[in-house]
């Protein structure tokens, strides 16, 4: 039988080295690790980076669903449990934004970006795999300066493509509930991981977003209400005619 595959996804057993010609600065401030979750037997595989995120030396612990859930922040644990249950019974990927607590008690904010593992021969969904992206500390000034260096050196034509990149950031912010800076770093990580220019990746993301399923009626209804009442939330000094 052929090995399972993941359509449209890039998976590495451990964190990839910087792609040729893209520079290595992104990994100095964005902590990324990979994982696999096989539905049969609920078997987990963690890369060394994911183990270290949780406070373990690589190879010293066998990840399980029970262990994984035990590390989730108490306020997020049930939601993650429900998402995992949904993945197991729907055959969909396990993706989330949540907090987890390492062995030293440190709280990490992370997003999990994943795709399905599909058997190439039968087409059956065997599991889900992807990446843990640790967003903790993304507002550190030194790291912000490192990002600016990357922008200045590796993306000299960024401003010509600002619109597409900003739109892509907006999509990431809405989907993952992250800040503009965090959204940029995730996009930059995918650019480096796939060896595709950031502007090209952003433009393609915007094109493909239109092919995703429409938002639910409940979400659209809430947004309609927000759109029609947002002016009521703006303080008078920030209204029309005010100049800061």
CB atoms within 10 A of CB 169: 21
Q: Which of 56-60, 83-87, 171-175, 217-221 has the highest mean pLDDT?
A: 56-60
Q: How far apart are CA 52 and CA 57, in angstroms?
A: 6
Tens-digit pLDDT profile for residues 16-74: 333 333 333 333 445 889 999 999 999 999 999 999 999 999 999 999 999 999 999 99
CB atoms within 10 A of CB 80: 21
Total residue length of the chain: 244
pTM: 0.58
Tens-digit pLDDT profile for residues 79-125: 999 999 988 888 888 888 899 999 999 999 998 888 888 888 888 88
Q: Tell which CATH architecture fits domain 156-210.
A: Orthogonal Bundle (1.10)
Q: Where are the domains of the chain?
A: 32-136, 156-210
Hey, what CATH class is 32-136 in? alpha beta
């Amino acid at each position: 039988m052929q090995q399972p595959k993941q359509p449209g996804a890039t998976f590495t057993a451990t964190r990839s080295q910087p792609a040729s010609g893209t520079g290595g600065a992104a990994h100095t401030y964005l902590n990324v690790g990979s994982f696999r979750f096989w539905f049969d037997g609920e078997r987990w595989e963690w890369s060394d980076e994911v183990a270290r995120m949780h406070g373990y030396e690589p190879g010293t612990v066998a990840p399980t669903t029970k262990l994984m859930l035990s590390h989730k922040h108490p306020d997020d644990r049930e939601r993650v449990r429900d998402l995992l249950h949904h993945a197991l019974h729907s055959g969909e990927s396990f993706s989330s934004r949540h907090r987890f607590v390492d062995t030293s008690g440190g709280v990490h904010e992370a997003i999990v970006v994943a795709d399905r593992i599909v058997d190439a021969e039968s087409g059956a969904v065997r599991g889900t795999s992807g990446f843990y992206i640790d967003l903790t500390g993304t507002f550190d000034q030194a790291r912000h300066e490192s990002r600016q260096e990357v922008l200045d050196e590796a993306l000299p034509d960024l401003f010509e493509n600002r619109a597409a990149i900003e739109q892509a950031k907006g999509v990431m912010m809405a989907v993952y509930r992250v800040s503009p800076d965090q959204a940029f770093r995730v996009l930059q990580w995918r650019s480096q991981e796939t060896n595709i220019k950031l502007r090209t990746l952003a433009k393609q993301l915007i094109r493909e977003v239109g092919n995703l399923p429409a938002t639910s009626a409940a979400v659209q209804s809430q947004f309609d209400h927000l759109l029609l009442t947002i002016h009521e939330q703006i303080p008078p000094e920030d209204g029309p005619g005010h100049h800061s």
